[in-house]
Structure 1
Amino acid sequence: MDSNRVSPSCRQGEAQRIAARSDAEAVAQWLAEFRASPQTLRAYRREAERLLLWLEPQGRGLAQLRRYDLDAFESFLAAPMPEERWIGPPRPRHAPDWRPFRGPLSPASRRQSLVILQGLFAWLVEAGWVEHNPFRLMRDKRRRLDNRQAGIERYLERPLWEWLWQWLERPLSDESDGRQRYAWQRRRTLFGFAYLLAPRLSEMATAEMGDFFEREGRWWWRVVGKGGKVARIPVPADMLALLGEWRTVLGLVALPRPGEEGPVLRGLDGCRGLGDNQLYRLIRDTFREAAEALKAEAGEPAMAQVARLRAATPHWLRHTALTHQAQAGVELRYLASTARHARLDTTARYLHTEDEEWHRQQSAHGLPGRAGESV
C-alpha cells in the first residue's frame, strides 16, 4: 500500500481539519476513533486497506474516487483478480504470502464493506480530507447500504447443528494419545461456549476463568464487549458442566474461583491463551472436517448441508446461537441482552416467525387438482 499518496485537496491547501500527510495517515486517524473496540477496529481496517490497495495500481487516491468507481469496486470484491495477488490463507499482516482476501466476498459481505466505507468517507468529508462522499450518489443506496433490513441467513439450522454437535461428541478411539484427547475436549468446549453464550470471537479469546462467577446460586459470565461495555450473561447448566469437564482436563477444580486468573481457552501447553486468529483457524478447520465427514456419511442428499458447513465461519456460531434462542421462545428483550445489541431492531433480525407464518399461509395457494401437495 502506498502510504505516501497525498490527497489533492491537501495539496491545494483547502480546509483540512486533521494533521495528515497521506491517505493512509488520514485513514489511520479515522480508525483511531474505534480503538476502544478491537473487533470493530480490525474489521474497519481490513475494508479500508482493501480500498487503498485497489486504488494503488491505478495511481489514484481517495479524493479521486467517483460514483462510477463504486460499481467496479463492488465487482472486484465479488471476484478479486488476479487471485494469486489478492487471495490467500490466513497469514500475519507482514508475512510475504499475506493476501487481503480469503476468497470472493458474498453479497452480504460486499454490502457490509460498502457500509463501512460510506462511514469512512463521511468522516473524511468532515475532516476536510476529501470534497465529497461518492456513496451518497448511489441510486440504490438504501438497498446496498442499509445492512439492517434483511434477516440473518448465515447460521446453521437446528438439524444441522444437532448433527454437528453429535459429531463433536463422538468419543475418540482407545488408541488416541493425551494430546488428541486434550484437543478433542478443547474443541467441544470451544463450540459449546460459542453456542451457549453467543460470544464474539474476540470475547472468547479474552475470556478468563474468573469471568465466570456465582451470585445467589446462579452462575454468570462477565464479558467486555464492543466499545468496552461490560455485561453479564446467564450461564446455563450445560455450559457449567462443559466448563467443569474442560477444567478437569486442565488439572483444575470443576468450578472457577472468584478472581481466578488464566484464559478459558488455551494452547496445547495448557497455559497460554489462544488469539483471535488461532480460534478462527480452529473453528474453520473444524467446519471443513465436519463437512467432509457429513459428505462421507450421507452422500449426495446432504450436499446442501455440506456446502453450508464449508461456508461457515466463526461468526455463524453466534448467529446460530441467537437464532436458536429466538426459536426456543427467548423473549426479545432478553435476547437483546445476551447479544448485547444497542438496538432491538438489530436483534429482531434473528426472529424468523414472520417467515414461517408467511410460508404456512402461502402454502394454501396452489394449482387446481394438486391441493395438499407440498414441495
Structure 2
Amino acid sequence: MRLGTVSIMLPVQVNRLTVQEAADRYVELVRAKTVTGALSPATAEVYARDVATFVRLAGPDRVLDDLTGEDVDAVLLAFARKPDERRKINGRGEAAGKSTGKEPGQSAASQARFRRSVSALFRHATSAGWVHLDPMAASSVRARERGGLRPERRALTREQAEGLIEAAASPGAPPAEATDSGSGRRRRADQRTEVRDALVVLLLTTLGPRVSELVRANVEDFYTNDGVRYWRIFGKGGRTRDVPLPDVVAVALDAYLAVRAGGDGEKALLLSWRGRRLARGDVQAVIDRVQRQVDPGRRREVTPHGLRHTTATHLLADGTDMDAVRRVLGHSDLSTLGRYRDDLPGELEVAMGSHPLLRRRRGQAVQDDEAGPDT
C-alpha cells in the first residue's frame, strides 16, 4: 500500500527591514515607475513625501514587521493633528485665515491621501516579504467624509459653461486683455496669448483632460483621420486614448497653430509668450483671464479639475453612453465616473418631466387635445 506524501508549510521568512530601509527601497521603486510612464513625476513625489512623513511619525529605526494596526492608527492620528504647512503663519505665530475655533490640522482630503500612501507602502511590503501581515487590515482610523467638493471644483452649470466657451471661442481680444492685470500697462503684441488661452479653455471644458495631460501635450499628438481631428492623450499608468475634437475645438487648434510662437524644434503644444512649455500652475491663470470676459451673471470661479467635472457631468446628463464618457476622461473603470458626476440644478425635474415610461401616454394626450371635443 502506497502512503501519500505530507507537505509541510514552513513559516514565511521575512526580511526584517527598519522603517527607514523599507521606505527608501519603496520610494526608489516608485520613482523608477516614472521612467516607464506608470506614474507621473508629480504623483511619485506625493508618495515620496507621504512616506517620508510616515517614517518620521512611526520611527525610522523600528522594524517594519513589528508595527501593528494600533501603531498605524497612532501614526494616522498624529498626521491628522499635524498643522497644515500650506497655511501661512502671521507675525504672531498664528495660522493665518479665518478662525474656526478648532486647532488647525490636516484636511479630510489630505488625511485620506496620506492613508492611501501608507496603504500602498504596506501592500508592497507584504508582497516583497518585508512583513508577515499587512497592519492596515487592523487599522480603524479613517478621515471624516468630505461634505462635497469646494465650489470651484464643482461642475459649472450649462449657462456658466456656455458663457465660458463663448468667451473662449469669440474672435479677437477685448481691450481688457491687452493690458497686464494690476499694472494697467499695455502689453506688446508678441505677449498677447488670447488664441492660446481660447484653445486651453475649450480643450478643458469639452474634453476634460487632466491638467497634467494638457501641459504634457505635444503638437505631434494631434492628427487627422478621415477628415476628423484627434488628440492622442498620454494619460496615467502609461495608457493612451484617442479623442476626437469637436469642430469648434478643431478650428481653435488650427487658429493657435497658425500663430504659435515656438520654433520647429519645440514639441510642446502650449507655450508661453517666451516660447516655453506651460506649467501646471499657468493653466489656472489662463482660465481666470478668459473668465474675465464672461458676463458676471454667468461667471463662477473654477479650477482645471472643475472643468473636468463639467465635461463628465454634462455629457452624462445629456444621455451620452457611460462607456464613451469613461473613454473620453481616460478612466479604466466605469465606477470612477461617480466621482466626476455632479448634480445640476433642475436636473431631476427635467428627468421626471420626460419619463421614458410615460412618453406614450403624453403622446396620446397631445393627440386627444389636437383632435378636440367629439362632435
Deviations 1:28-77 (A, max 9, x none): 24415733336455324413422423542764457265434555555565
SS in 2 for 1:273: coil
Contact 2:15 2:129 in 1 (8 A): yes
The two structures have a TM-score, normalised by structure 1, of 0.64
Give the whole-Å Cα distance in 2 for the aligned partners of 1:344 and 1:284: 28
Deviations 1:197-231 (A, max 9, x none): 22222322221212211111211111222222232
In 2: Cα distance, 1:247 partner to 1:290 partner: 19
SS of aligned partner of 2:33: coil
1:322 aligned to 2:312? yes
Q: What is the rounded CA distance, in whole Å, between the counterparts of 1:21 and 1:71 in structure 2?
A: 19
**Are the structure 2 counterparts of residues 118 and 215 from structure 1 closer, same or farther at C-alpha, using a change threshold of 3 Å?**
same
1:265, distance to aligned residue in structure 2 (A):
0.5
Aligned to 2:244: 234
Could you tell me which residue of structure 1 aligns to residue 204 of structure 2? 194
The yes-or-no answer on 1:336 pairing with 2:326 is yes
1:138 Cα shift? 3.1
Larger radius of gyration: 2
Aligned 8 A contact 2:205 2:307 in 1: yes
Any idea what the Cα deviations from partners look like across 1:317-358, whole Å, max 9, x if unmatched? 322222222223221121111122221222244445799549
CA distance in structure 1 between the aligned counterparts of 2:313 and 2:271, rounded to whole angstroms = 28
Structure 2 counterpart of 1:194, one-letter code: L
CA deviation vs aligned residue, 1:133-158 (integer Å, no higher than 9, x gap): 332113477x989x9xx999943322
Question: How has the CA–CA distance of structure 1 residues 260 and 195 changed in structure 2, closer, same or farther, with 3 Å as cutoff?
Answer: farther
Deviations, residues 128-187 of structure 1 (Å, cap 9, x unaligned): 22444332113477x989x9xx999943322444455566666234644224422x3333
Is the Cα–Cα contact under 8 Å of residues 198 and 317 in structure 1 kept in the other structure? yes
**Which residue does the alignment assign to 1:122?**
123
Which of 268, 271, 283 is 1:266 aligned to? 271
| Cα offsets for 1:214-259 (capped at 9, x unmatched) | 111211111222222232111111211211221222269xxxxxx9
| SS of match in other structure, 1:156 | coil
The count of aligned residue pairs is 305
Q: Structure 1: how far apart are the matches of 2:321 and 2:334?
A: 11
Task: Determine what percentage of the aligned residue pairs are the same residue.
Answer: 22
Partner of 2:174: 171
Q: Matches of 2:336 and 2:330 in 1, distance apart? A: 10
Tell me what 1:4 maps to. none
Return the match for 1:346 from 332, 336, 339.
336
Q: 1:345 to 1:58 in 2, by over 3 A?
A: closer
Greater RCO, CA 8 A, separation 6+: 2
Q: CA offsets per residue over residues 7-45 of structure 1, 9 Å max, x none?
A: xxxxxxx62399x98234222244157333364553244
Q: Greater shift after overlay, 71-80 or 226-235?
A: 71-80
Computed over aligned residues only, the root mean square deviation of the Cα atoms, in angstroms, reads 4.5
| TM-score (normalizing by structure 2) | 0.64
Supply the distance in 2 between the matched residues of 1:113 and 1:359 (Cα, whole angstroms): 40
Structure 1 pair 289/265, CA: closer, same or farther in 2 (3 Å)? closer
**Distance in 2 separating the partners of 1:358 and 1:110:** 37
| Distance of 1:71 and 1:21 partners within structure 2 | 19
Q: Say which SS state the counterpart of residue 317 (structure 1) adopts.
A: helix
Q: Displacement of 1:268 after TM fit? A: 2.1
Counterpart position of 1:370: none
The amino acid across from 1:269 in the alignment is R
Contact 1:152/1:350 (CA < 8 Å) preserved in 2?
no
Unmatched tracts of structure 2, length 5 or more: 1-12, 89-103, 179-185, 353-375
Indicate the SS of the match to 1:34: helix
Matches within 5 A, 1:208-223: 208-223=218-233
Change (3 A) 1:42 1:131: farther
Query: Structure 1: which amino acid aligns with 2:25?
Result: A
**Alignment-mate amino acid for residue 196 of structure 1:** T
- 1:1-375 aligned within 5 A: 15-16=14-15, 22-31=21-30, 34-35=33-34, 36-37=36-37, 39-40=39-40, 42-56=42-56, 59-60=59-60, 63=64, 65-71=67-73, 73-74=75-76, 80-81=82-83, 86-87=85-86, 106-139=107-140, 154-158=153-157, 159-165=159-165, 171-173=174-176, 175-182=186-193, 184-250=194-260, 262-270=267-275, 272-274=276-278, 278=279, 280-286=280-286, 309=301, 313-351=303-341, 357=348
The answer (yes or no) to whether the contact 1:151–1:350 under 8 Å persists in 2 is no
- Structure 1 gaps of 5+ residues are 1-13, 90-102, 253-258, 362-375
Q: Take 2:105 and 2:192, find their aligned partners in 1: how far apart are those partners?
A: 36
Determine the C-alpha separation between the residues in 1 that align with 2:340 and 2:161.
Answer: 16
